[in-house]
Amino acid sequence: MTIILTRSILSRMFTVASPDSVISRVTTADGLDLCVEVRHSAGHPTLLFAHGFGQTRGAWKGAALALATQGCRCVTFDARGHGESARVPGGDYHMEQFVGDLLTLARAQPEPPILVGASMGGLLGLVMAGELDPPPFRALVLVDITPRWETAGVERILAFMKAHPDGFADYAEAAEQIAAYLPQRRERKSEDQLRPLLREGADGRLRWHWDPAMLDGVVRESERYQPRLMAAAAKVKAPLLLLSGGRSDVVSRDTVNEFLQLVPHAQHVELSQATHMLAGDANDEFTNEIVKFVEGLDSLPERSSKLG
């Protein structure tokens, strides 16, 4: 089922003037520390945001703040090897580690969360929702990802991540590269916005926050995951919303249609002006669609008045 965005609902929702934000560390099953941020800790329902490969929890900042302001409890985190979370000693990364980390975080919540997963984060959630009984999520929002993806789009992302292994001389040089990679964005990132995305090395040069060792193990495993992802998708029973970008090169009409055949109860909304980076390209539309999805969940009738 495909839905067309018709109007904004933010103006008619319950609001929280200044939602609290708490940053903490959560230890994974194999002993790594993950950096976790909770906005509006007393809110409901709980939304657990899982970012894409090479991103940080900062990718969700605008959406999490907006949804926390509307009364939701929003949990974002840096995946292992990303941002402020720990790196795997020796660089031995595997997809199962990321699955286990997300499961740890889901089970740590006061209620089964609604997963909002972008790209890699969505695929991890899809595996868990299809393979685990009971599933760890009340519902899922997949952000511009399907079990089968367009190879050219993924290769473009990986090419950007592999570029500049020697880093940048300053923030201005990094900002220039991001602007070239994301030409649809009107504003160039400031030094304050770039600071969480870069680390200064002993040589004084700035390098991306992610562990470059991930580019081998995880990428190599991802293609082999596709049959498992297809099988898991066919078993998903939880309510599911797929949000895609009309200008995305990672999903396409073919991959979306294939996914909707696997999960016939899923809803699909295309944000026509967004690329693969939905939350960054069209945050207001993105947030509106999540709110509408949450409002429509049969599992949350007691909260319908609070969310609208």
Q: What is the CA radius of gyration of the chain?
A: 18
Q: Model confidence at 15, in pLDDT bands (50, 70, 90)?
A: low
How much is the pLDDT for 111? 95
The one-letter code for the residue type at 208 is W
pLDDT by residue (tens digit) across 255-286?
999 999 999 999 999 999 999 999 988 999 99
Contact 240, 202 (CB under 8 A): no
Residues sharing a CB contact under 8 Å with residue 5, sequence separation 6 or more, in sequence order: 269, 271, 285, 288, 289
Distance of CA 234 to the CA centre of its chain: 21
Contact 137, 106 (CB under 8 A): yes
Q: Model confidence at 16, in pLDDT bands (50, 70, 90)?
A: low
Dihedral, CA atoms, 266, 119, 80, 281, nearest 10 degrees?
-110
* Whether the predicted pLDDT of 300 surpasses 60: no
What value does the mean pLDDT of the chain take? Answer: 89
- Alpha helix segments (H runs only) across the chain: 61-69, 95-107, 120-131, 151-162, 171-181, 191-194, 214-222, 226-235, 253-262, 278-281, 283-295
How much is the pLDDT for 215? 86
Q: What is the DSSP letter of 106?
A: H
How much is the pLDDT for 5? 36
Mean pLDDT, residues 41-55: 95
Which of 147-156, 223-232, 299-308 is the least confident region? Answer: 299-308
Higher pLDDT, 248 or 299: 248
CA proximity to 214, closest of 105, 54, 101: 54
In angstroms, rounded to a whole number, what is the distance separating the alpha carbons of residues 78 and 291? 23
Long-range contacts of residues 184-191, Cβ cutoff 8 Å, at least 24 apart? 184/247, 184/275, 184/281, 185/280, 185/281
In angstroms, rounded to a whole number, what is the distance separating the alpha carbons of residues 204 and 173? 14
pLDDT by residue (tens digit) across 132-142?
999 999 999 99
Which of 184-188, 268-272, 287-291 is the least confident region? Answer: 184-188
End-to-end CA distance of the chain: 23
The secondary structure of 59-73, three-state, reads: HHHHHHHHHHHCCCE
Mean pLDDT, residues 68-79: 96
Mean pLDDT, residues 69-80: 96
Higher pLDDT, 239 or 300: 239
Domain 2-165+212-303 has CATH 3.40.50.300: no
CA proximity to 70, closest of 242, 301, 288: 288
Domain boundaries, the chain: 2-165+212-303
How much is the pLDDT for 4? 35
In angstroms, rounded to a whole number, what is the distance separating the alpha carbons of residues 291 and 308? 9
Which of 11-25, 79-93, 240-254 is the least confident region? Answer: 11-25
Cross-strand bridge partners of residue 2: 268
How much is the pLDDT for 186? 77
Report the percent of the chain where pLDDT is more than 70.
Answer: 91
Q: Model confidence at 301, in pLDDT bands (50, 70, 90)?
A: very low
What pTM, to 2 d.p., does this model score?
A: 0.90
How much is the pLDDT for 17? 56
